Amino acid sequence: MKIIFVTGWSMSWLWKWITSASVWKLIGSSGKRVWMIKMDPYLQVDAGTMSPYEHWEVFVTEDGAETDLDLGNYERFTGENFTTDSNITSGKVYLSVINKEREWEYLWKTVQIIPHITNEIKDNIIKVAKNYDVTIIEIGGTVWDIESQAFLEASRQMKKDIGKENILYLHVAPLLYLKYSWELKTKLIQHSVIKLREYGLQPDILVCRTEKHISKEIKNKISNFCDVDIDNVIEAVDAKSIYQVPELFKSQNLDKIIIKSLWLGTTWADLKKWNSLVNTIITPKKEVNIWIIWKYTEFEDTYKSISEALIHGWVANNAKVHLNWIHSEDLENWDFSDILQKERQQWKLDGILVPWGFWERWVEWKINAVRFARENMIPYLWICLWLQVAVIEYARNMCNLDKSNSTEFNKSTIHPVIDYMEEQKKIQNKWGTMRLGSYESKLEKDSLAYSLYGKENISERHRHRYEVNPKYHEILKENGLSLSGMSPDRKLVEFIEVADHPYFIATQAHPEFKSRLEDPHPLFVWLIKAALN
């Protein structure tokens, strides 16, 4: 059992996750079983209740865990499917310790952060790490956070538990570039290493995030002040694409450093296939314009899996995807017929993607957008909530079911075409009503979905409460809406298509969670291809 801990002087620009995932890329494809864990110091048990305005995307694993978006980042780099055990939050750890205390597991002991919380963290790590040759563990937040302290302490204790030779500490910290004096300042790195030492942690490898290349002198200075071997001071300079980072590290021998330090005895990383895909991102042959109609505007990372899946589709089609982010709120005053009259080129509109959403405020305006795309044969891919909205639009405008709605938006609608399933209505526990994780669907043989997936039985990940109301399946079908993918028991609608629209597909699932650079998702590959056509 070998472990690499990744700590950081935090902020997302810092690439802590990119570093962790790139380290997997350097050692994970050489025959050793390498796994990943993200430790999140926040007090939530899982990320399901995080606000997309504050904490970006909630990622969903195959086994239905709602996790930090970093697990998605890891999956896209590694191609692995991680599970709930790969996300250890303070909430999960404290909840378990408190439950044990109530069960008298620590009877006559004083229950404390050290050793009870730290032991719980270590148990959670070992439960996973014992099954793999190497486990890469990213500690979320900064080395200054109060919440991170127990995780840092646990990582220090593990040196004793599993032996110094089986553990590596990799620290990511920024070099500050002062543009007026053209200087790179090393103080932030030094200070964050001093802070780490307070916890008894001495980094073995330092990844220095920087806008400018680092000179030998600066490396030397960092090496001296921070007591890290000069070869182990790695430059992480700005890149055009995050997918270039594994090569960036390999060119500085980070693969060799790790393989030798941990006595892994494997060959050096082979990134040939990976790098050839990355070249397509850097020098694409074609271009395409996709609109994303979004709700949560503060950070693009709220739709991280979607924008990455589009990049994977870009690679598969050798076509750069220009994303035009359109806030749902702005749709209010749009005259859609006017858009068509103007050159599509001028509007830079080749395809539309509408990602997921909850308690949507601007749903009525988006229904107009759905109609516009459906009637004008614009390629579009609707995800999760937007399958539901597409059904509402179809029911209203094609099935004469005026005022159709989802009970999520109008509890007393006369045509609840989208609703809770009967079984859900009895559930009291708030989490119990969510459909989470991987579910199977059966695709109709003559459908667009079948032609894209190339098989009848598929599975995709889900994260939603509402479903297309089974009472309306027949009337939708009679009026030309194809329910092209259903759950195996035929109760739940998974895909819809419109027969005379060659580019219309909506799915109740979140296909973006399964797309990877080396295995792009067929729906995203198709969207870009349809938009190019």
d(CA 209, CA 189): 10
| Nearest alpha carbon to residue 456 among 438, 476, 442, 468 | 442
Q: What is the residue whose two structure tokens read 């988006």?
A: 366
Backbone torsions φ then ψ of 266, nearest 5 degrees:
-105, 170
Q: What is the residue whose two structure tokens read 């797309």?
A: 515
Choose the catalytic residue: 171, 415, 510, 521. Answer: 510
CB atoms within 10 A of CB 207: 29
Q: How many residues does the chain have?
A: 533
The C-alpha torsion from 282 through 287 and 290 to 296, rounded to 10°, is: 20
The one-character DSSP state at 215 is: P
Least separation in angstroms between residue 29's CB and ligand GLN is 33
Q: With contact defined as beta carbons under 8 Å apart, do 172 and 16 qualify?
A: yes
d(CA 66, CA 311): 23
Nearer to ligand GLN, 122 or 463 (CB): 463
Nearer to ligand GLN, 466 or 503 (CB): 466
User: If 0-12 CB within 10 Å is exposed, 13-18 middle and 19+ buried, where does residue 134 land?
Assistant: buried
Nearer to ligand GLN, 76 or 461 (CB): 461
| Nearest alpha carbon to residue 96 among 87, 105, 109, 108 | 105
Bridge partners, 402 (sequence order): none
Residue 321, CB-side half-sphere exposure with 13 Å CA sphere:
29
Question: In what order do the strands lie in the sheet containing 504-507?
Answer: 319-327, 286-294, 351-354, 380-383, 504-507, 493-498, 481-486, 435-443, 457-464
Query: Residue 72 corresponds to which tokens in the numbers above?
Result: 């998605």
Nearer to ligand GLN, 44 or 433 (CB): 433
| Nearest alpha carbon to residue 34 among 135, 117, 103 | 135
| Helices H / strands E in the chain, number of each | 20, 23
Strand stretches in 133-186, DSSP E = 134-139, 167-174, 176-178, 183-185
How big is the CA angle at 277 (ends 72 and 522), to the nearest 5 degrees? 60
Q: With contact defined as beta carbons under 8 Å apart, do 461 and 427 qualify?
A: no
Choose the catalytic residue: 384, 460, 462, 467. Answer: 384
Q: With contact defined as beta carbons under 8 Å apart, do 57 and 301 qualify?
A: yes
Q: With contact defined as beta carbons under 8 Å apart, do 378 and 372 qualify?
A: yes
**For binding to ligand GLN (CB under 6 A), which residues are involved?**
356-358, 384-385, 408, 463-466
Query: Residue 429 corresponds to which tokens in the numbers above?
Result: 């526990």
d(CA 1, CA 134): 6
| Nearest alpha carbon to residue 461 among 90, 180, 57, 109 | 57
Least separation in angstroms between residue 425's CB and ligand GLN is 14
Query: Residue 356 corresponds to which tokens in the numbers above?
Result: 């997921």
d(CA 34, CA 135): 6
512 as an active site residue: the answer is: yes
| Nearest alpha carbon to residue 226 among 178, 172, 181 | 172
Nearer to ligand GLN, 357 or 511 (CB): 357
213 as an active site residue: the answer is: no
Nearer to ligand GLN, 148 or 507 (CB): 507
Active site residues: 384, 510, 512
